[in-house]
Amino acid sequence: MSDISGQSTRPLLSLAEIAAGSAIICAFWGAGEIVSQMTGRFLPGPIAGMLLLVIALQLPFSAALLRLIEKPAQFLLTILPLLLVPIAAELLVSYQLLADHWLAVALALVIGWLVSFAVTAAVAHLLWRGRDSSHD
């Protein structure tokens, strides 16, 4: 089997495998939506689906599952920032809600974010046992 570049090394995933991987990801999304509804929308469906997939990947058959979802998942992660643009673009309309108090809101948001970031990193740094340095 040869790919577009004409190399005939290891065969790429077939279209059927990519379709199967995409279907599996969507199935976990669907399962997440069901779990979300059953638990009174405590977590959004996609996040519940992500947690279910993490759990499934710890089960015995997970090597095959991982191989199937890897390519489509990697593609979805690559386009994730682009997918957030329309949600962020809602600010073009909703910024007016904050306009009257923009300085207070801006300061509160920036300082609040900074504290949240710094506290999380500092506490994890203090409590993390046997930390080795990360090399990548």
Partner 1 sequence: MIEVAGEFLDRVWFGLILTLAAWVVAKGIERLLGRSPVANPILLSVLLIGAVLMSFSLSFESYRPGGELLTVLLGPAVVALALPIQRNFPVIRAQLFPLLTAILLGTVGGIAVTWVVALLFDVPAEILTALATKHATTPIAVQVAEGIGGSTALAAATTIVTGIIGAVSYLMIARLLRIKDRRLQGLALGTSAHVIGTAQGITDSPVTGAFSAAALPIAGVFTALLVPVFVPLLLP
In sign, the C-alpha dihedral spanning 118, 122, 123, 129 is positive
Buried b (16+ CB within 10 A) or exposed e, 61-76: eeeeeeebbeebbeee
Is residue 67 part of the contact set for partner 1 (CB under 8 A)? no
Q: Other CB atoms closer than 10 Å to residue 19's CB: what's the count?
A: 13
The answer to whether 70 contacts partner 1 (rule: CB under 8 A) is yes
Q: Report the distance separating Cα 1 and Cα 10, nearest Å.
A: 8
Nearer to partner 1, 2 or 117 (CB): 117
Q: How far apart are CA 63 and CA 75, in angstroms?
A: 19
Q: Rule CB under 8 A: which of 4-43 touch partner 1?
A: 22, 25-26, 28-29, 32, 41-43
Regarding 114 and contact with partner 1 (CB under 8 A), the answer is yes
> Which of 15/87 has CB closer to partner 1?
87
Residue 94 makes contact with partner 1 by CB under 8 A = yes
Phi/psi at 106 (5° precision) = -60, -45
Q: Which is nearer to partner 1, 19 or 26 (CB)?
A: 26
Tell me which of 1, 15, 16, 87 binds partner 1, using CB under 8 A: 87
User: Residue 34 or 118: which CB sits closer to partner 1?
Assistant: 118
